[in-house]
């Protein structure tokens, strides 16, 4: 069993009967959704899943997990998702899979947020992983130029055929190669106020519990009640 599978299965154990569960996106969340599907089938677990991407929705439906959109539920009890980086002060970067907008919406309207990662994602300071920023296509070149002037070393994310990657909302992703983000809160404010930016991958003060996959087993970090 690899580390991603280990933490995915461990996290699925936090889901209780009757919960509305935010279903994350990515290679680690995949194993969590698979385990929830097994529990639904073998343990008659009764849950509602709120997927954070069309990929997670398709996977959940194939496993027999009932799904709803974020607008079809009053609130989400627990969202379980991966992260691309987590700093020592428990801030995160997400969006490597281009699902950051849906992921942040679902997390924002969740009572609890649980992140699942392998130990390679734990860092002292955010920034080595390029920060994804979702922008609308119209004016995206202007935003790109603005980011260049600000010294963010932006790169428009492209598919294998050389066309811009499109999110589930048909927006573009610009990745900022910052190396180190000394003040994530200040950067978040700057990005939030930039016209054309839909959302960014800084997930600050959002997580309640982190499960870290290590060679000797999963480690649990309770960040806040």
Q: Which long-range contacts (CB under 8 A, 24 or more apart) does 15-19 make?
A: 15/39, 15/45, 15/47, 15/78, 15/80, 17/45, 17/46, 17/47, 18/46, 18/47, 19/47, 19/48, 19/77, 19/78
Point out the catalytic residue in the list 103, 119, 160, 199: 103
Asked whether the beta carbons of 106 and 76 are under 8 A apart, the reply is: yes
Helix (H, G, I), strand (E, B) or coil at 97: coil
Asked whether the beta carbons of 30 and 116 are under 8 A apart, the reply is: no
| DSSP H or E segment with residue 117 | strand 110-118
119 catalytic? Reply is no
Q: Which residues are catalytic?
A: 103
């Amino acid at each position: 069993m690899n580390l991603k599978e280990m933490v995915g299965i461990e996290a699925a154990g936090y889901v209780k009967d009757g919960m509305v569960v935010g279903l994350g996106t990515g290679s680690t969340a995949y194993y969590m959704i698979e385990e929830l599907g097994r529990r639904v089938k073998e343990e008659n677990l009764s849950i509602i899943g709120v997927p954070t991407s069309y990929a997670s929705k398709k996977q959940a439906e194939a496993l027999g997990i009932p799904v709803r959109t974020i607008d079809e539920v009053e609130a989400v009890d627990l969202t379980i998702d991966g992260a691309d980086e987590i700093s020592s002060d428990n801030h995160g970067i997400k969006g490597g899979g281009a699902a950051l907008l849906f992921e942040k919406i679902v997390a924002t309207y969740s009572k609890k947020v649980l992140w699942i990662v392998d130990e390679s994602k734990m860092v002292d300071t955010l920034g080595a992983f390029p920060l994804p920023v979702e922008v609308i296509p119209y004016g995206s070149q202007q935003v790109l130029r603005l980011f260049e002037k600000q010294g963010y070393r932006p790169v428009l994310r492209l598919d294998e055929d050389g066309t811009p990657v499109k999110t589930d909302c048909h927006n573009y992703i610009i990745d900022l190669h910052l190396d180190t983000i000394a003040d994530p809160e200040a950067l978040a404010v700057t990005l939030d106020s930039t016209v054309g930016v839909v959302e960014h991958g800084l997930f600050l003060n959002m997580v309640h519990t982190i499960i870290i996959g290590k060679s000797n087993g999963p480690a649990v970090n309770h960040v806040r009640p």
